[in-house]
A and B are shown apart, each in its own frame.
Chain A
Amino acid sequence: MAGFFERLKQGMSKTRTGLGDRIRSLVGGRQWSDSLYDELEEILYEADLGSQAIEVILAQLKDSVRQRHPERAEEVVALLHEVMVAMLESNPNPYQLPDQRPAVWLMVGVNGTGKTTTAGKLAQRMKHQGHSVILGAADTFRAAAPEQLLEWGRRAQVDVVHQAEGADPAAVAFDTVRAAMARRLDLAIIDTAGRLHNKTHLMQELSKIVRVVGRECLDAPHQVWLVIDATTGQNGLEQARVFQEAVRVTGILLTKLDGTAKGGIAFSIHQALHLPIAFVGVGEKLDDLMVFDADQYVRAILGMEDRELD
């Protein structure tokens, strides 16, 4: 896991210098006093954690502080880490496929979060793990989206099912699943068009894809990954809520974590909806897509070195 931590730290170096240094300079060597809560609150707000999550975090932190009477401010930060990790329970291995084949994964999310790129990376990763994979380009709206996925398909040596621009995305999804079944493949990954969650007709289109896929293949889609850009502010929560209602999201995939000074939206979403955060993307390379680890993630956010916790 050291690799994960190192890379996440590198990826999130901006987070560390932003948030970690602020916390360090704030509390470094100081006696804890309750007036420091306001400062912590401010820092958490700046990390895009959102008022609900912050309220819960601070309430629990105050409980811990009352019970354990830490003297130095650093100890309070360690308690903060504990509280935050406890809020992000860890999840089963998201790469695990069900016994029944093919497994169907669906990528959903608002525009510009990195669905297509991540679909390509997941295909490549699963292929490396020895699975037979097919990609479906059900983003028939954005100009040249299939071409982008085809490029990923070439890199991963995975076939891509696609149709002309403007085709029915459910038809592409249908074809993809049928192809996966006919060829007895392990996994079909279907990329969908980015859509703003407040557009009812687009959300209905997505529900239709899920219905069509479910008719063809038992229990499909087995995973619905909601792709969320880590730079997203509090709107990420509403996105998650609406997508979950429309298509039974099974997990969050937090992208572009290296492009942000925060990533705190993960807390809001998990806390409000109990959706597991399955993957994080911390860079552009294939290896930069990693399984989410709550402990490492919170350490990186708080800019804590390992020794500070031991």
Chain B
Amino acid sequence: MFDALTDKLQQTFKRMRNKGRLTEADVKEALREVRLALLEADVNFKVVKEFLSRVEARAVGQDILQSLTPDQGVIKIVRDELVQLMGSHVERVRMASNPPTVIYLVGLQGAGKTTASAKLARMLRHQGRQPLLVAADIYRPAAIDQLKVLGEKIQVPVVTEAGKTPVQLAELGMAMSKRMAKDVIIIDTAGRLHVDDALMGELEEMNRRVPAHEMLLVVDAMTGQDAVRVASAFKERLPLTGVIMTKLDGDARGGAALSIREVTELPIKLVGSGEKIEDLEPFAPDRMAQRILGMGDIMTLIEKAEAAMDREDTQVLAEKITKADFTLDDFRAMIEQVKKLGPLSKVMEMMPGMGQMAKLKNKVDDRSMVRVEAILNSMTNKERQRPDIIDGSRRLRIARGSGTTVMEVNRLIKQFDEVKKMMKQMKGKKGRGRMPRMPFPPLG
């Protein structure tokens, strides 16, 4: 996410690390680098200024200059201030005590309001709510169709009616929610090219008739210096309660995320982290700061694993592993589970220490996984159950069928054999809790 910024900060501090002790001039030098990194990351100019003066005030002339690991001290200050900048704790979407909860999504064109509306509806449905979507973007051609299709996919009803104004549609949504016994109404509003009076007036009127409990501004993470201005302009006219930051799965450095909270005091509540409908996550400022500093984000990974993996499947798999009757079918199931976590490169990004290995990350793209899967899928059931029957001609067929080479098929089978051997050993040592490193999946 914040790869480039992380790299820059790490380079800077590495240089400081090599020097041992820090002087006041060193701190200033490092902060100049931080300034450039932040500016290149699209952090708002004014925010950068204030941020640096805060860090400097804390870093210069403090005991950390006397300490043996001053760079750690500076990193800690930068990290603390980054967390501070992004809001110090996780902010959730609040539900009204008296349902239905009304949630508006507003923002500029192309920010991703419609997609975010559907993602939010899906998330709330998974939390046991009964959401209803209102398609109130009557201006962009096919925006309503888009929401309808998405609503069908996530099994959330979409309210709309040709010829109605956005205000009427909001009211219709409210009426329908009562009739359909829905407890959350998510209203997807129209985007505009720039903040104009007509748009604001319309939103104000909608909010007057159907008051919002949450009014979330949808902002593209790739936005530059303008993000803060847009957020401020919307906030002047509308009772915004928070921000959804979209497209954070790109490599934009996301300075907008840093800036908006600071300037508008609006918390970032959710982030869009992928193209799939389930790719919407709570924004965790402390984790994000750790990530910026290359400290990894193991918590997100663990949470994702828990949410994505099928508990029963995992248990069956674990049993098989302990009993050592692990077949290629099980291996295929394992890959399916890992795939649910998202692209491997993204998973690796979250591992502590992995963020630095940018080069490695490019190599571990998901193609290697796809190839292994293709090989497995090109085998017959019998072959997967009893890999020992896979002879030369079968290997050739599998290679052809999967578009790989016999060498790759051989490697996979060999590695599988090794894992099986290891599992047998584990079975023997059962109870000692030692888990050997598995050479699976074969990558690169």
Contacts and interface: CB of A to CB of B under 8 A. Distances in A.
B256 interface: yes
Contacts of B141: 147-148, 151-152
Given A147-B142, A256-B110, A233 B225 contact: yes
B110 A235 contact: no
B193 A233 contact: no
B111 A265 contact: no
Contact of A48 (B41, B145, B192, B225): B225
A264 B192 CA distance: 21
Interface string B217-229: 0001011111101
Interface residues of A, number: 50
Contact of B42 (A114, A201, A233, A256): A233
Contact of B224 (A48, A165, A199): A48
Contacts of A262: 224-226
A145 B230 CA distance: 26
Interface string A1-44: 00000000000001000100000000000000000000000100
Interface stretch (B50-58, B72-80, B95-103, B243-251): B243-251
Contacts, number: 143
B39 interface: yes
B121 interface: no
B247 A142 contact: no
B266 interface: no
Contacts of A186: none
A233 B223 contact: yes
A259 interface: yes
B149 interface: yes
B110 A261 contact: no
Interface stretch (A77-85, A94-102, A105-113): A105-113
Given A110-B250, A231-B108, A260-B226, A148 B194 contact: no
Interface in B215-267: 220, 222-227, 229-230, 247, 249-253, 255-256
A21 to B, nearest CB: 14
B39 A51 contact: yes
Interface string B141-178: 11101111110010000000000000000000000000
B247 A110 contact: yes
Interface of A: 14, 18, 42, 45-48, 50-51, 110-114, 141-145, 147-148, 150-152, 165, 196-201, 229, 231-236, 238-239, 256, 258-262, 264-265, 283-284
Closest CB pairs A-B (n = 7):
A233-B224, A112-B110, A233-B42, A144-B145, A143-B149, A151-B141, A148-B142
